[in-house]
Amino acid sequence: MTSTIALLGHPVSHSISPRFQQAALDALGIDARYEAWDTPPEDLPSALERLRSRDLLGANVTVPLKQEALRLIDRPDALAERIGAVNTIVNAGGVLEATNTDVAGVLRSLEDGGVDLAGANVVLIGAGGAARAIVVAMREGGAARVTIANRTAARARALVPLGGEDLELRVIPLDHASEQLRAAMQSARLVVQATSLGMRDGPDEDASPLPAELFHAGQAALDIVYVPEQTPFLRAARQGGALPLGGLSMLVHQGAESFRRWTGQPPPLDVMFDAARAALDETS
């Protein structure tokens, strides 16, 4: 019997996850199909019911369903609860278990980029769903302080409870001219761009939330946006002397962790990266 793994989101047609997940399944000879199921929010309960069938191994969950899926799932793990969102569901004999592999995705991509988080000061731009996973990842990775700048300050303040004894969280305005942002950038070993600015078909494809002059050499700059591969933020970071890190690595690593949970097998990372890059090249 051919098994199925679903991608639940709305819209999902632009996603490159089916490309690199199917390549990984095929490379390991696993008889399964990874299918994108376009799921408007009102159809999420019925899509989750379908996931309980014997031939379904599980699912990925993407925008805008990650938070609502947490509410509806049988057994979310502690990480998903802390972040307030799930991105991976495993069908365990009709019981739906869920976790969030975005944290592992960020940590592995930073490891690949040679970034040491231990004791680091970090600037995080953005405070949406992905930013929540970034904050939890910074805590897991041993960062000392995360300074969050977001267009809507109230949304940034909602992230503060994710900090703790070991991780200080501060909120400052997203204002290039502000001394607070300048000082935070000066002491930051890592800057993470987690807004949808710069994303193709997003709110502003040509905008970077930070200008080149705020970056410096010896600093790493991760843009979690991965379409296009070269974003305005990454261009500004490179121009300012920082090490630019694109979001494709985070995407593939979070998918690889999901793959491990559905199949119980080590993910073929090289195959996944090659397929993801080929899929991106076709869109550019």
Residues with catalytic annotation? Answer: 66
* Among the listed residues 65, 89, 220, 225, the single contact to ligand NAP using CB under 6 A: 225
Q: Which of 24, 51, 61, 102 binds ligand NAP (CB under 6 A)?
A: 102
Torsion of CA 269, 275, 276, 280, to 10 degrees: 160
Q: What does the per-residue mask of binding to ligand NAP show for 240-259, with x meaning CB under 6 A?
A: -------x--xx--x-----
Using CA atoms, how far apart are residues 133 and 106, in angstroms rounded to an integer? 8
- Residue 175 contacts ligand NAP per CB under 6 A: no
Quote the least distance from Cβ 270 to ligand NAP, whole Å: 18
Any contact of residue 127 with ligand NAP (CB under 6 A)? Answer: yes
Is the CB of 163 or the CB of 255 nearer to ligand NAP? 255
Question: Which run of H or E residues covers position 210?
Answer: none
Cis peptide before 268 (omega within 30 of 0): no
69 binds ligand NAP (CB under 6 A): no
Q: With respect to ligand NAP, which residue has the nearer C-beta, 3 or 66?
A: 66
Site string for ligand NAP, 182-221 (x = CB under 6 A): ------------xxxx-x--xxx-----------------
Q: How far is CA 72 from the centre of its chain?
A: 21
Burial of 162-195, coded b for 16+ CB within 10 Å and e otherwise, reads bbeeebebebbebeeeeeebeebbeebbbbbbbb
Minimal CA–CA distance to 280: which of 242, 239, 249?
249
Contact, 115 vs 189, CB < 8 A? yes
Q: Name the segment binding ligand NAP (CB under 6 A); options: 26-34, 129-137, 256-264, 273-281.
A: 129-137
Cβ nearer to ligand NAP, comparing 80 with 194: 194
Whole-angstrom distance, CA of residue 47 vs CA of residue 223:
31
150 near ligand NAP, rule: CB under 6 A: yes
